[in-house]
Amino acid sequence: MAQVIYQIVDSYYKTFEKFPKLPLIWSRQTHRLLAVRNFKDLTGWGSECIFLLGLCVLIPKFAQFIYIVQKYLQLGHYPDQDEFASPIQLLSIAVAILGSGVAISISFFGLLFNREIVQTLNSLFDVEQLLVTRGNILHNRAENHRDKLTPKEALIAKVVGHVPLFAFYFAPAIAIFAVANGLDPLTFVVDGYFRPDWRRYQLVWFLGFKAFSLIMLTSAVISASKMLLGVACLFTCPAWFLQHTIRMLGKDYEVFGNQGVVWIRNVRIYIIMYNTIVIGFTRFGPYLAVIILFVLVACGFAITVCNVVIVRMRTYLPISFGCVMPTKEPIQLLSVAVSSIGGGGAIVASSFGLLFKREIVQTVNSIYDMEQVLVTRGNILHNRAENYRDKLTPKEALFAQILGYVPLFALYVAPALGIFAVAKGLDPLTFVMDGYFRPDWERYQLAWFLGFKAFSLIMVTAAVISASFGCVMLTKEWERWRGKYIGNG
């Protein structure tokens, strides 16, 4: 499968070669990242960031956002009649700011820290190459031999390899749609500030302006697509290679790890390779944290703005909150948020675990196996039993005991949460019954009402327990799979 990743990235960069170089490029000959530090080679990329994405897209769309805010402050309500404040204009602002802003920010991040990124990711590729070479030596093959792709793998590489071409051919369609509907940034700049009377000009001036805007927007979409696809390759491929390499370490240990007198030397090799991965990604961690923080702030700002706009646009797009919220109490909003995030997160996480359980189990178990190897090596050096482990200190025992009670705490808190939700009318079934069917409970016997509340209480309690114990069930699954490979030692 590693060969599939290499072919996909090769096809991506084969398309990228036709455009100005990015701060980080891929070598199709060595299958390694390269840092571009020559100022002359980066002039094209700088022109794209400053002129195409900055001056032609990001700044005009940000100015349009400021324009809408100023109109809102002047009128005291959302400017729903303004042509530059329509819902599709808001969508174009969000897409342009996020797309261009992320492309510029991450590419500048790659320029500032290209040395660390190249060293870290190439070390991961080097470990994978070393493991492949060891396997080839074992099977008396050429050192650089790799198995041919299966028909399924070749189809995957071919289909995914066409994504850049799809993005580049799709860019003119996006630009034509934007220009035809007045969503392009230059239209806002000209019609929003200068407001020319196009009827006083010849048709050729109007068509020339639209053609220029179309060309600029198409070029900007292509540049942003190139940068975002490059970033996708930069983060997706190493993430897959990480778990792939750790899994290869486990397989390599099964073959070489118990070969008599060379066992200690092989363990040292495993430690070196494993430390290469850990040290590299530990060094890379702060930069990833900065990126994640930036993305979280940007997404939080976007969500807040969208929520405010949706509420303020009720005169333009009437939205009835009656079907969503029977009351206006803040606690109802809190219950919707908690149930949506908790229930939805549990379903998504468990579905993800079901779909990728084999990869998750193999990756996590390979880390456990490496830890077991290191413990065994230390025990051999100190003439102890291979599976010997030190007893817990009082502090460690207390820590383990306290955390061990967390599942019981969740189990005991679940009924209390259920009772509180049902008593306050925050449970989902109460909303369904009283929000849509609206029964007159005074016409029914008390037993029906109490039965409904009891059923709702049982469902809420069971749901809280299920969501709380999803992580515990996944841990048990890991232990079950781990027992198949290394037993209970």
Backbone angles phi, psi at 24, to 5 degrees: -120, 130
Report the first-to-last Cα separation within the chain, whole angstroms: 31
- CA dihedral defined by 94, 98, 15, 115, rounded to 10 degrees? 180
CA proximity to 13, closest of 274, 186, 232: 232
Residues 297, 341: Cα–Cα separation, whole Å: 19
The tens digit of pLDDT for each residue in 288-317 reads 667 667 767 776 766 666 666 655 555 544
Q: Judge whether 68 and 84 are in contact, CB under 8 Å.
A: yes
Mean pLDDT across 329-349? 70
Tell me how far CA of residue 263 lies from CA of 134, 138, 189, 203, 377, in angstroms: 15, 15, 71, 82, 10
Structure tokens at 255: 């073959």
At 13-63, the pLDDT tens digits run 888 777 888 888 888 888 888 888 888 888 888 888 888 898 889 999 989
235-239: long-range contacts at Cβ-Cβ below 8 A with a sequence spacing of 24 or more?
A: 237/5, 237/8, 237/9, 238/121, 238/124
Tens of pLDDT, residues 233-279: 877 777 777 777 777 777 776 666 555 545 556 666 666 666 666 66
The identity of residue 14, as a single letter, is K
Q: Write down the mean pLDDT value for the chain.
A: 76
Biggest CA–CA distance in the chain, Å, is 95
As a whole number of Å, the CA-based R_g of the chain is 30
Q: What tokens were used for 407? A: 């599942």
H/E element holding 316? none
